[in-house]
Structure 1
Protein backbone atom coordinates (compact mmCIF):
# COMPACT_ATOMS: atom_id res chain seq x y z
CA UNK A 1 0.00 0.00 0.00
CA UNK A 2 1.26 3.48 -0.85
CA UNK A 3 1.58 6.29 1.66
CA UNK A 4 1.45 10.06 1.56
CA UNK A 5 4.92 10.05 3.07
CA UNK A 6 6.20 8.75 -0.27
CA UNK A 7 5.04 12.04 -1.83
CA UNK A 8 6.53 14.24 0.85
CA UNK A 9 9.43 15.60 -1.18
CA UNK A 10 7.21 16.55 -4.11
CA UNK A 11 4.12 17.60 -2.12
CA UNK A 12 4.91 21.32 -1.97
CA UNK A 13 5.48 21.51 -5.72
CA UNK A 14 2.25 19.61 -6.39
CA UNK A 15 0.23 21.87 -4.12
CA UNK A 16 1.81 25.01 -5.54
CA UNK A 17 1.11 23.98 -9.13
CA UNK A 18 -2.50 23.00 -8.43
CA UNK A 19 -3.35 26.20 -6.54
CA UNK A 20 -1.46 28.57 -8.85
CA UNK A 21 -3.63 31.49 -10.07
CA UNK A 22 -2.37 30.89 -13.58
CA UNK A 23 -2.76 27.13 -13.46
CA UNK A 24 -5.19 25.14 -15.54
CA UNK A 25 -6.64 23.19 -12.64
CA UNK A 26 -10.04 23.41 -10.97
CA UNK A 27 -8.86 25.02 -7.74
CA UNK A 28 -10.02 28.58 -8.43
CA UNK A 29 -13.51 27.40 -9.33
CA UNK A 30 -14.33 24.15 -7.56
CA UNK A 31 -12.72 25.12 -4.25
CA UNK A 32 -14.83 28.25 -3.78
CA UNK A 33 -17.29 27.10 -1.15
CA UNK A 34 -20.93 27.50 -2.23
CA UNK A 35 -23.44 29.39 -0.12
CA UNK A 36 -25.23 27.48 2.64
CA UNK A 37 -28.79 26.89 1.48
CA UNK A 38 -31.41 25.33 3.74
CA UNK A 39 -33.28 23.94 0.74
CA UNK A 40 -30.37 21.62 -0.05
CA UNK A 41 -28.51 20.95 -3.26
CA UNK A 42 -29.49 22.78 -6.42
CA UNK A 43 -28.81 21.68 -10.01
CA UNK A 44 -25.79 23.98 -10.23
CA UNK A 45 -24.29 22.25 -7.17
CA UNK A 46 -24.49 18.93 -8.97
CA UNK A 47 -23.02 20.26 -12.20
CA UNK A 48 -20.15 21.93 -10.32
CA UNK A 49 -18.71 18.44 -9.79
CA UNK A 50 -17.87 18.45 -13.51
CA UNK A 51 -15.03 20.80 -12.61
CA UNK A 52 -13.29 17.67 -11.29
CA UNK A 53 -13.44 15.87 -14.63
CA UNK A 54 -16.90 14.33 -14.31
CA UNK A 55 -19.18 14.29 -17.35
CA UNK A 56 -22.60 14.82 -15.86
CA UNK A 57 -25.21 15.84 -18.41
CA UNK A 58 -28.74 17.14 -18.17
CA UNK A 59 -30.06 13.57 -18.19
CA UNK A 60 -28.00 12.84 -15.07
CA UNK A 61 -29.25 15.90 -13.18
CA UNK A 62 -32.83 16.70 -14.21
CA UNK A 63 -34.36 13.43 -12.87
CA UNK A 64 -33.06 14.22 -9.37
CA UNK A 65 -35.25 17.33 -9.22
CA UNK A 66 -38.34 15.89 -10.92
CA UNK A 67 -41.43 15.11 -8.86
CA UNK A 68 -41.77 11.54 -7.69
CA UNK A 69 -40.27 8.96 -5.39
CA UNK A 70 -37.97 7.09 -7.74
CA UNK A 71 -34.30 6.22 -7.39
CA UNK A 72 -33.08 9.66 -8.60
CA UNK A 73 -35.23 11.50 -6.04
CA UNK A 74 -34.09 9.15 -3.28
CA UNK A 75 -30.48 9.81 -4.23
CA UNK A 76 -30.97 13.57 -3.96
CA UNK A 77 -32.66 13.12 -0.60
CA UNK A 78 -29.78 10.93 0.61
CA UNK A 79 -27.19 13.50 -0.51
CA UNK A 80 -29.11 16.30 1.21
CA UNK A 81 -29.30 14.23 4.39
CA UNK A 82 -25.56 13.61 4.20
CA UNK A 83 -24.92 17.30 3.66
CA UNK A 84 -27.06 18.29 6.65
CA UNK A 85 -25.23 15.76 8.82
CA UNK A 86 -21.69 16.39 7.63
CA UNK A 87 -21.49 20.12 6.89
CA UNK A 88 -20.38 20.92 10.45
CA UNK A 89 -18.79 17.56 11.29
CA UNK A 90 -15.34 17.46 12.84
CA UNK A 91 -12.45 16.85 10.44
CA UNK A 92 -11.97 13.41 8.92
CA UNK A 93 -8.58 12.86 10.56
CA UNK A 94 -9.80 14.10 13.98
CA UNK A 95 -11.90 10.99 14.58
CA UNK A 96 -10.19 8.80 17.19
CA UNK A 97 -11.01 5.46 15.54
CA UNK A 98 -12.31 3.99 12.31
CA UNK A 99 -15.49 2.88 14.07
CA UNK A 100 -16.10 6.46 15.17
CA UNK A 101 -15.41 7.61 11.61
CA UNK A 102 -17.85 5.04 10.23
CA UNK A 103 -20.60 6.40 12.48
CA UNK A 104 -20.02 9.93 11.21
CA UNK A 105 -19.92 8.78 7.59
CA UNK A 106 -23.07 6.66 7.84
CA UNK A 107 -25.08 9.28 5.94
CA UNK A 108 -22.40 9.42 3.24
CA UNK A 109 -22.47 5.61 2.98
CA UNK A 110 -26.26 5.81 2.55
CA UNK A 111 -25.85 8.30 -0.29
CA UNK A 112 -23.26 6.05 -1.94
CA UNK A 113 -25.70 3.16 -1.68
CA UNK A 114 -28.51 5.24 -3.18
CA UNK A 115 -26.25 6.15 -6.11
CA UNK A 116 -26.08 2.50 -7.15
CA UNK A 117 -29.68 2.67 -8.30
CA UNK A 118 -29.21 5.67 -10.59
CA UNK A 119 -27.62 5.37 -14.01
CA UNK A 120 -24.48 7.45 -14.39
CA UNK A 121 -23.97 7.84 -10.63
CA UNK A 122 -21.39 6.21 -8.35
CA UNK A 123 -19.71 6.99 -5.05
CA UNK A 124 -17.16 8.96 -7.10
CA UNK A 125 -19.92 11.29 -8.30
CA UNK A 126 -21.36 11.65 -4.81
CA UNK A 127 -17.95 12.47 -3.34
CA UNK A 128 -17.24 15.22 -5.87
CA UNK A 129 -20.65 16.79 -5.30
CA UNK A 130 -20.50 16.73 -1.50
CA UNK A 131 -16.81 17.44 -0.86
CA UNK A 132 -17.25 21.00 -2.10
CA UNK A 133 -19.83 21.61 0.66
CA UNK A 134 -18.08 19.66 3.44
CA UNK A 135 -14.38 19.55 2.49
CA UNK A 136 -13.19 18.66 5.98
CA UNK A 137 -15.04 15.33 6.18
CA UNK A 138 -16.07 14.06 2.70
CA UNK A 139 -13.11 12.50 0.86
CA UNK A 140 -12.88 12.85 -2.89
CA UNK A 141 -12.89 9.42 -4.51
CA UNK A 142 -11.57 8.73 -7.99
CA UNK A 143 -9.51 6.14 -9.82
CA UNK A 144 -6.23 7.77 -8.85
CA UNK A 145 -6.99 7.67 -5.14
CA UNK A 146 -8.20 4.07 -5.41
CA UNK A 147 -5.09 3.09 -7.33
CA UNK A 148 -2.86 4.86 -4.83
CA UNK A 149 -4.29 2.84 -1.95
CA UNK A 150 -4.82 -0.32 -3.96
CA UNK A 151 -8.56 -0.68 -3.33
CA UNK A 152 -11.36 -1.77 -5.65
CA UNK A 153 -14.46 0.16 -6.67
CA UNK A 154 -16.60 -1.72 -4.16
CA UNK A 155 -14.30 -0.97 -1.21
CA UNK A 156 -15.19 2.59 -0.25
CA UNK A 157 -15.08 1.87 3.48
CA UNK A 158 -11.63 0.29 3.16
CA UNK A 159 -10.49 3.37 1.25
CA UNK A 160 -11.81 5.66 4.01
CA UNK A 161 -9.97 3.63 6.65
CA UNK A 162 -6.66 3.62 4.77
CA UNK A 163 -6.91 7.34 4.06
CA UNK A 164 -7.78 8.03 7.71
CA UNK A 165 -4.75 6.08 8.92
CA UNK A 166 -2.46 7.73 6.37
CA UNK A 167 -3.65 11.23 7.30
CA UNK A 168 -3.12 10.62 11.00
CA UNK A 169 0.37 9.23 10.44
CA UNK A 170 1.36 12.22 8.31
CA UNK A 171 -0.73 14.90 9.98
CA UNK A 172 2.23 16.95 11.20
CA UNK A 173 3.93 17.76 7.93
CA UNK A 174 0.64 17.90 5.99
CA UNK A 175 -0.73 20.50 8.41
CA UNK A 176 2.46 22.56 8.21
CA UNK A 177 2.39 22.39 4.42
CA UNK A 178 -1.28 23.31 4.18
CA UNK A 179 -0.82 26.41 6.33
CA UNK A 180 0.88 28.14 3.40
CA UNK A 181 -2.24 27.83 1.24
CA UNK A 182 -5.87 28.88 1.40
CA UNK A 183 -8.91 28.50 -0.82
CA UNK A 184 -9.74 31.24 -3.35
CA UNK A 185 -12.28 32.61 -0.83
CA UNK A 186 -9.60 32.68 1.92
CA UNK A 187 -10.61 29.61 3.90
CA UNK A 188 -8.16 27.12 5.34
CA UNK A 189 -7.50 24.13 3.10
CA UNK A 190 -8.74 20.94 4.73
CA UNK A 191 -6.22 18.15 5.24
CA UNK A 192 -8.42 15.96 3.06
CA UNK A 193 -8.10 18.40 0.17
CA UNK A 194 -4.35 18.76 0.68
CA UNK A 195 -3.96 14.98 0.57
CA UNK A 196 -6.21 14.64 -2.47
CA UNK A 197 -4.20 17.19 -4.44
CA UNK A 198 -0.90 15.53 -3.49
CA UNK A 199 -2.20 12.12 -4.59
CA UNK A 200 -3.87 13.38 -7.75
CA UNK A 201 -1.15 15.60 -9.19
CA UNK A 202 1.47 14.17 -11.56
CA UNK A 203 4.55 13.75 -9.43
CA UNK A 204 7.87 12.07 -10.06
CA UNK A 205 10.07 11.11 -7.14
CA UNK A 206 13.52 12.67 -7.63
CA UNK A 207 15.06 9.32 -6.70
CA UNK A 208 13.20 7.41 -9.42
CA UNK A 209 15.74 5.67 -11.64
CA UNK A 210 15.90 6.32 -15.34
CA UNK A 211 15.29 3.55 -17.86
CA UNK A 212 19.04 3.49 -18.50
CA UNK A 213 19.59 2.80 -14.80
CA UNK A 214 17.06 -0.03 -14.87
CA UNK A 215 18.08 -1.72 -18.12
CA UNK A 216 20.90 -4.27 -17.77
CA UNK A 217 23.99 -4.33 -19.95
CA UNK A 218 23.30 -8.04 -20.53
CA UNK A 219 19.76 -9.40 -20.39
CA UNK A 220 20.42 -12.20 -17.92
CA UNK A 221 20.57 -12.67 -14.16
CA UNK A 222 24.09 -11.27 -13.86
CA UNK A 223 23.21 -8.13 -15.78
CA UNK A 224 20.00 -7.58 -13.84
CA UNK A 225 21.66 -8.08 -10.46
CA UNK A 226 24.23 -5.46 -11.42
CA UNK A 227 21.33 -3.00 -11.84
CA UNK A 228 19.82 -3.75 -8.44
CA UNK A 229 17.15 -6.27 -9.41
CA UNK A 230 16.04 -8.66 -6.67
CA UNK A 231 14.20 -11.95 -6.24
CA UNK A 232 15.27 -14.48 -8.87
CA UNK A 233 12.92 -17.01 -7.34
CA UNK A 234 10.73 -19.63 -9.09
CA UNK A 235 7.50 -18.01 -10.23
CA UNK A 236 5.40 -21.19 -10.12
CA UNK A 237 6.02 -21.63 -6.38
CA UNK A 238 6.41 -17.97 -5.47
CA UNK A 239 5.60 -17.08 -1.87
CA UNK A 240 4.08 -13.64 -2.39
CA UNK A 241 4.96 -12.66 1.19
CA UNK A 242 8.57 -12.43 0.03
CA UNK A 243 7.67 -9.79 -2.56
CA UNK A 244 7.44 -6.11 -1.53
CA UNK A 245 3.98 -4.54 -1.69
CA UNK A 246 5.20 -1.50 -3.62
CA UNK A 247 5.14 -0.33 -7.25
CA UNK A 248 7.77 -1.73 -9.56
CA UNK A 249 8.72 -3.67 -12.66
CA UNK A 250 9.49 -7.36 -13.01
CA UNK A 251 10.93 -9.85 -15.49
CA UNK A 252 10.51 -13.58 -16.04
CA UNK A 253 13.71 -15.45 -16.84
CA UNK A 254 14.70 -18.87 -18.21
CA UNK A 255 18.28 -19.94 -17.59
CA UNK A 256 18.33 -22.30 -20.57
CA UNK A 257 18.33 -20.13 -23.69
CA UNK A 258 17.79 -23.01 -26.12
CA UNK A 259 14.38 -23.28 -27.77
CA UNK A 260 11.96 -25.03 -25.40
CA UNK A 261 9.19 -27.52 -25.98
CA UNK A 262 5.94 -25.64 -26.60
CA UNK A 263 2.79 -27.22 -25.20
CA UNK A 264 -0.39 -26.96 -27.31
CA UNK A 265 -2.41 -26.10 -24.20
CA UNK A 266 -1.48 -24.51 -20.91
CA UNK A 267 -1.48 -27.46 -18.47
CA UNK A 268 -3.46 -25.73 -15.72
CA UNK A 269 -5.68 -23.55 -17.90
CA UNK A 270 -9.36 -23.30 -16.97
CA UNK A 271 -12.35 -22.66 -19.24
CA UNK A 272 -12.83 -19.20 -17.72
CA UNK A 273 -9.34 -18.01 -18.61
CA UNK A 274 -8.09 -16.41 -21.82
CA UNK A 275 -7.48 -18.61 -24.86
CA UNK A 276 -4.28 -20.56 -25.48
CA UNK A 277 -1.84 -19.75 -28.29
CA UNK A 278 -1.03 -22.00 -31.21
CA UNK A 279 2.33 -23.71 -31.51
CA UNK A 280 3.18 -21.80 -34.68
CA UNK A 281 2.44 -18.48 -32.97
CA UNK A 282 4.61 -19.37 -29.99
CA UNK A 283 7.53 -20.52 -32.17
CA UNK A 284 7.32 -17.37 -34.29
CA UNK A 285 7.72 -15.19 -31.21
CA UNK A 286 10.57 -17.11 -29.60
CA UNK A 287 13.72 -14.95 -29.26
CA UNK A 288 16.92 -17.00 -29.71
CA UNK A 289 19.51 -16.78 -26.94
CA UNK A 290 17.29 -14.62 -24.71
CA UNK A 291 16.98 -15.31 -20.98
CA UNK A 292 14.28 -12.69 -20.36
CA UNK A 293 10.89 -13.94 -21.54
CA UNK A 294 8.58 -11.25 -20.20
CA UNK A 295 8.70 -7.72 -18.80
CA UNK A 296 5.79 -6.48 -16.68
CA UNK A 297 4.87 -3.68 -14.30
CA UNK A 298 2.90 -3.25 -11.09
CA UNK A 299 1.50 0.23 -10.64
CA UNK A 300 0.43 -0.41 -7.05
CA UNK A 301 1.93 -3.61 -5.62
CA UNK A 302 4.50 -6.08 -6.94
CA UNK A 303 3.25 -8.57 -4.36
CA UNK A 304 -0.32 -8.46 -5.64
CA UNK A 305 0.63 -8.48 -9.31
CA UNK A 306 3.02 -11.43 -9.07
CA UNK A 307 0.53 -13.37 -6.97
CA UNK A 308 -2.00 -12.82 -9.77
CA UNK A 309 0.55 -14.02 -12.33
CA UNK A 310 1.31 -17.20 -10.38
CA UNK A 311 -2.38 -17.95 -9.80
CA UNK A 312 -3.15 -17.51 -13.49
CA UNK A 313 -0.51 -20.14 -14.26
CA UNK A 314 -2.15 -22.44 -11.71
CA UNK A 315 -5.50 -22.02 -13.44
CA UNK A 316 -7.09 -20.51 -10.33
CA UNK A 317 -6.89 -16.83 -11.27
CA UNK A 318 -8.42 -14.72 -14.02
CA UNK A 319 -6.14 -11.69 -13.77
CA UNK A 320 -2.81 -11.34 -15.58
CA UNK A 321 -3.72 -12.88 -18.91
CA UNK A 322 -0.90 -10.76 -20.35
CA UNK A 323 2.34 -12.73 -20.42
CA UNK A 324 0.50 -16.05 -20.39
CA UNK A 325 2.69 -17.43 -23.19
CA UNK A 326 5.20 -18.54 -20.55
CA UNK A 327 2.74 -21.13 -19.26
CA UNK A 328 2.95 -22.92 -22.64
CA UNK A 329 6.56 -23.92 -21.96
CA UNK A 330 7.14 -27.51 -20.87
CA UNK A 331 9.63 -26.27 -18.26
CA UNK A 332 7.48 -23.36 -17.00
CA UNK A 333 7.96 -24.59 -13.44
CA UNK A 334 11.66 -23.71 -13.74
CA UNK A 335 11.13 -20.09 -14.74
CA UNK A 336 12.21 -17.44 -12.25
CA UNK A 337 11.00 -13.92 -11.57
CA UNK A 338 13.00 -10.86 -10.53
CA UNK A 339 11.80 -7.39 -9.69
CA UNK A 340 12.94 -3.84 -9.17
CA UNK A 341 11.11 -1.56 -6.75
CA UNK A 342 10.26 1.94 -7.95
CA UNK A 343 9.30 5.09 -6.05
CA UNK A 344 5.65 6.04 -6.21
CA UNK A 345 4.53 7.92 -9.30
CA UNK A 346 0.84 8.75 -9.49
CA UNK A 347 -1.60 6.19 -10.85
CA UNK A 348 1.09 3.76 -11.86
CA UNK A 349 2.19 5.82 -14.89
CA UNK A 350 5.80 5.73 -13.75
CA UNK A 351 5.90 1.94 -13.78
CA UNK A 352 4.19 1.88 -17.16
CA UNK A 353 6.86 4.18 -18.56
CA UNK A 354 9.56 2.00 -17.03
CA UNK A 355 8.01 -1.13 -18.55
CA UNK A 356 7.78 0.33 -22.05
CA UNK A 357 11.30 1.72 -21.76
CA UNK A 358 12.69 -1.67 -20.74
CA UNK A 359 10.91 -3.38 -23.63
CA UNK A 360 12.41 -0.78 -25.96
CA UNK A 361 15.92 -1.48 -24.58
CA UNK A 362 15.35 -5.24 -24.94
CA UNK A 363 14.36 -4.77 -28.58
CA UNK A 364 17.50 -2.73 -29.22
CA UNK A 365 19.59 -5.61 -27.86
CA UNK A 366 17.70 -8.35 -29.72
CA UNK A 367 17.33 -7.19 -33.30
CA UNK A 368 13.98 -5.49 -32.81
CA UNK A 369 12.25 -8.48 -31.16
CA UNK A 370 10.09 -8.03 -28.07
CA UNK A 371 10.44 -10.46 -25.16
CA UNK A 372 8.72 -13.74 -26.01
CA UNK A 373 5.61 -13.18 -23.86
CA UNK A 374 5.22 -9.43 -24.51
CA UNK A 375 2.79 -9.03 -27.39
CA UNK A 376 2.92 -5.23 -27.43
CA UNK A 377 5.52 -2.59 -26.73
Structure 2
Protein backbone atom coordinates (compact mmCIF):
# COMPACT_ATOMS: atom_id res chain seq x y z
CA UNK A 1 0.00 0.00 0.00
CA UNK A 2 1.40 3.41 -0.87
CA UNK A 3 0.49 6.87 0.26
CA UNK A 4 1.43 9.21 3.03
CA UNK A 5 3.14 6.48 5.07
CA UNK A 6 5.88 5.88 2.49
CA UNK A 7 8.29 8.52 3.83
CA UNK A 8 9.15 9.97 7.20
CA UNK A 9 6.37 11.62 9.15
CA UNK A 10 6.42 15.40 8.43
CA UNK A 11 8.32 17.55 10.92
CA UNK A 12 9.71 14.51 12.75
CA UNK A 13 13.28 13.59 13.64
CA UNK A 14 13.37 11.23 10.67
CA UNK A 15 12.20 13.97 8.29
CA UNK A 16 14.85 16.39 9.58
CA UNK A 17 17.56 13.72 9.34
CA UNK A 18 16.45 13.10 5.75
CA UNK A 19 16.78 16.87 5.17
CA UNK A 20 20.39 16.99 6.41
CA UNK A 21 19.93 17.93 10.06
CA UNK A 22 22.43 16.62 12.61
CA UNK A 23 22.80 16.62 16.39
CA UNK A 24 19.53 15.57 18.00
CA UNK A 25 20.97 16.09 21.47
CA UNK A 26 19.47 17.50 24.68
CA UNK A 27 20.37 21.13 25.41
CA UNK A 28 22.60 19.95 28.27
CA UNK A 29 24.85 18.13 25.78
CA UNK A 30 25.30 21.05 23.37
CA UNK A 31 28.72 22.14 24.72
CA UNK A 32 30.20 18.74 23.81
CA UNK A 33 28.12 18.08 20.67
CA UNK A 34 30.42 19.60 18.06
CA UNK A 35 27.91 22.20 16.89
CA UNK A 36 29.35 23.93 13.80
CA UNK A 37 30.32 27.59 13.89
CA UNK A 38 28.75 28.09 10.47
CA UNK A 39 25.44 29.87 9.93
CA UNK A 40 22.37 27.70 9.57
CA UNK A 41 19.01 26.72 10.94
CA UNK A 42 18.06 24.69 13.98
CA UNK A 43 15.02 22.94 15.35
CA UNK A 44 13.87 21.87 18.79
CA UNK A 45 11.98 18.60 18.97
CA UNK A 46 9.73 17.02 21.56
CA UNK A 47 9.62 13.32 20.80
CA UNK A 48 7.25 12.28 23.60
CA UNK A 49 3.78 11.33 22.43
CA UNK A 50 2.29 12.31 25.80
CA UNK A 51 0.18 15.44 26.12
CA UNK A 52 2.37 18.40 27.08
CA UNK A 53 2.29 19.87 30.57
CA UNK A 54 2.98 23.58 30.89
CA UNK A 55 4.65 25.12 33.92
CA UNK A 56 3.49 28.51 35.19
CA UNK A 57 7.12 29.61 35.69
CA UNK A 58 9.82 29.59 33.04
CA UNK A 59 13.36 28.34 33.60
CA UNK A 60 14.46 31.04 31.14
CA UNK A 61 16.66 33.91 32.21
CA UNK A 62 15.37 37.40 32.84
CA UNK A 63 17.05 39.24 29.98
CA UNK A 64 16.90 42.99 30.66
CA UNK A 65 14.81 42.15 33.75
CA UNK A 66 11.84 40.82 31.73
CA UNK A 67 10.02 37.71 32.94
CA UNK A 68 10.04 35.22 30.03
CA UNK A 69 6.98 33.32 31.31
CA UNK A 70 3.89 33.09 29.13
CA UNK A 71 0.46 32.31 30.58
CA UNK A 72 -0.08 28.51 30.47
CA UNK A 73 -3.46 29.09 28.82
CA UNK A 74 -1.72 30.87 25.93
CA UNK A 75 0.77 28.00 25.66
CA UNK A 76 -2.09 25.49 25.50
CA UNK A 77 -3.68 27.48 22.66
CA UNK A 78 -0.36 27.61 20.79
CA UNK A 79 0.32 23.87 21.05
CA UNK A 80 0.37 22.04 17.70
CA UNK A 81 -0.59 18.35 17.85
CA UNK A 82 1.28 16.04 15.50
CA UNK A 83 4.75 17.34 14.67
CA UNK A 84 7.79 16.65 16.84
CA UNK A 85 9.27 20.05 15.90
CA UNK A 86 8.27 22.68 18.46
CA UNK A 87 10.59 25.52 17.38
CA UNK A 88 12.55 26.57 14.30
CA UNK A 89 15.32 29.18 14.54
CA UNK A 90 18.24 30.57 12.59
CA UNK A 91 21.84 31.49 13.28
CA UNK A 92 23.53 34.03 11.04
CA UNK A 93 27.21 35.00 10.89
CA UNK A 94 26.43 38.33 12.52
CA UNK A 95 27.93 41.69 11.57
CA UNK A 96 31.40 40.74 12.83
CA UNK A 97 31.24 37.27 11.24
CA UNK A 98 31.78 35.48 14.57
CA UNK A 99 28.32 34.16 15.28
CA UNK A 100 26.74 31.04 13.83
CA UNK A 101 25.06 27.90 15.13
CA UNK A 102 27.47 27.14 17.97
CA UNK A 103 27.14 30.60 19.53
CA UNK A 104 23.39 30.94 18.96
CA UNK A 105 22.56 27.52 20.38
CA UNK A 106 24.84 28.14 23.35
CA UNK A 107 22.87 31.35 24.03
CA UNK A 108 19.60 29.42 23.80
CA UNK A 109 20.89 26.75 26.21
CA UNK A 110 22.19 29.31 28.70
CA UNK A 111 18.92 31.29 28.53
CA UNK A 112 16.99 28.10 29.36
CA UNK A 113 19.34 27.47 32.29
CA UNK A 114 18.29 30.80 33.80
CA UNK A 115 21.08 33.09 32.61
CA UNK A 116 20.04 36.59 31.50
CA UNK A 117 20.99 35.94 27.87
CA UNK A 118 19.30 37.42 24.79
CA UNK A 119 17.40 34.50 23.28
CA UNK A 120 13.79 35.58 23.70
CA UNK A 121 12.63 33.69 20.61
CA UNK A 122 11.52 30.16 21.39
CA UNK A 123 11.20 30.90 25.09
CA UNK A 124 7.95 28.93 25.35
CA UNK A 125 9.89 25.63 25.39
CA UNK A 126 11.29 26.51 28.82
CA UNK A 127 7.79 26.11 30.31
CA UNK A 128 7.35 22.54 29.13
CA UNK A 129 7.51 20.16 32.08
CA UNK A 130 9.71 17.81 30.02
CA UNK A 131 12.03 20.56 28.69
CA UNK A 132 15.13 18.59 29.75
CA UNK A 133 14.15 15.84 27.28
CA UNK A 134 13.84 18.14 24.27
CA UNK A 135 16.30 17.55 21.44
CA UNK A 136 18.18 20.14 19.40
CA UNK A 137 19.16 19.56 15.77
CA UNK A 138 20.94 21.83 13.32
CA UNK A 139 21.73 22.19 9.66
CA UNK A 140 24.61 24.41 8.53
CA UNK A 141 23.61 26.13 5.29
CA UNK A 142 25.44 27.79 2.43
CA UNK A 143 22.20 29.59 1.62
CA UNK A 144 21.16 32.59 3.72
CA UNK A 145 19.95 31.19 7.06
CA UNK A 146 17.09 33.71 7.30
CA UNK A 147 15.78 32.58 3.90
CA UNK A 148 16.00 28.90 4.88
CA UNK A 149 14.24 29.57 8.20
CA UNK A 150 11.52 31.54 6.44
CA UNK A 151 10.95 28.72 3.95
CA UNK A 152 10.82 26.14 6.75
CA UNK A 153 8.30 28.21 8.72
CA UNK A 154 6.21 28.65 5.58
CA UNK A 155 6.26 24.90 4.89
CA UNK A 156 5.24 24.18 8.49
CA UNK A 157 2.42 26.73 8.30
CA UNK A 158 1.24 25.29 4.97
CA UNK A 159 0.92 21.85 6.58
CA UNK A 160 -0.52 22.79 10.01
CA UNK A 161 -2.09 26.22 9.46
CA UNK A 162 0.06 27.77 12.21
CA UNK A 163 3.70 28.20 13.16
CA UNK A 164 5.48 25.71 15.43
CA UNK A 165 4.47 25.91 19.10
CA UNK A 166 7.35 28.09 20.33
CA UNK A 167 7.54 30.32 17.24
CA UNK A 168 5.12 32.73 18.87
CA UNK A 169 4.91 35.35 16.12
CA UNK A 170 1.56 34.37 14.73
- The TM tier, using the shorter chain, reads 0.7 to 0.9
Q: Deviations over 1:114-172 (max 9, x none)?
A: xxxxxxxxxxxxxxxxxxxxxxxxxxxxxxxxxxxxxxxxxxxxxxxxxxxxxxxxxxx
Q: Deviations over 1:88-118 (max 9, x none)?
A: xxxxxxxxxxxxxxxxxxxxxxxxxxxxxxx
Specify which structure has the higher proportion of helix: 1
Aligned residue in 1 for 2:19: 227
Q: Given the alignment, which residue of 360, 364, 372 partners 2:158?
A: 364
Structure 1 position 353, deviation (Å): 1.1
Aligned residue in 1 for 2:90: 297
Q: Given the alignment, which residue of 338, 350, 354 partners 2:148?
A: 354
Distance 1:217 1:341, change over 3 A: farther
Structure 1 position 290, deviation (Å): 1.8
Specify which structure has the higher proportion of strand: 2
Separation in structure 2 between the aligned mates of residue 287 and residue 241 of structure 1, nearest angstrom: 28
- How many equivalent pairs are there? 156
Say which SS state the counterpart of residue 59 (structure 2) adopts: coil
Q: Deviations over 1:219-244 (max 9, x none)?
A: 11111111111000102342166100
Say which SS state the counterpart of residue 275 (structure 1) adopts: coil
| Bigger relative contact order, structure 1 or 2 (CA pairs below 8 A, ≥6 apart) | 2
Gaps of 5+ in 1: 1-215
Alignment of 1:263 onto 2:46: no
Separation in structure 2 between the aligned mates of residue 284 and residue 291 of structure 1, nearest angstrom: 17
Q: Which moved more, 1:238-247 or 1:351-360?
A: 238-247
Structure 1 position 319, deviation (Å): 1.1
Say which SS state the counterpart of residue 28 (structure 2) adopts: coil
Distance 1:279 1:224, change over 3 A: same
Aligned residue in 2 for 1:282: 75
Contact 2:44–2:135 under 8 Å retained in 1: yes
Q: Deviations over 1:256-309 (max 9, x none)?
A: 133211000113544724431001100000001220000000011100000000
Distance 1:361 1:217, change over 3 A: farther
Counterparts of residues 15-54 of structure 1 (less than 5 Å): none
Contact 2:68–2:123 under 8 Å retained in 1: no
Gaps of 5+ in 2: 1-7, 94-99
Q: Given the alignment, which residue of 1, 12, 28 partners 1:236?
A: 28
TM-score by length of 2: 0.84
For the aligned residues, what is the CA RMSD? 1.9
Counterparts of residues 1-377 of structure 1 (less than 5 Å): 218-239=10-31, 242-267=34-59, 269-270=61-62, 272-300=65-93, 301-343=100-142, 350-366=144-160, 368-376=161-169
Structure 1 position 217, deviation (Å): 6.4
Separation in structure 1 between the aligned mates of residue 20 and residue 146 of structure 2, nearest angstrom: 19
Q: Deviations over 1:313-346 (max 9, x none)?
A: 0111321111000000010000000011111x6x
Contact 2:107–2:118 under 8 Å retained in 1: yes
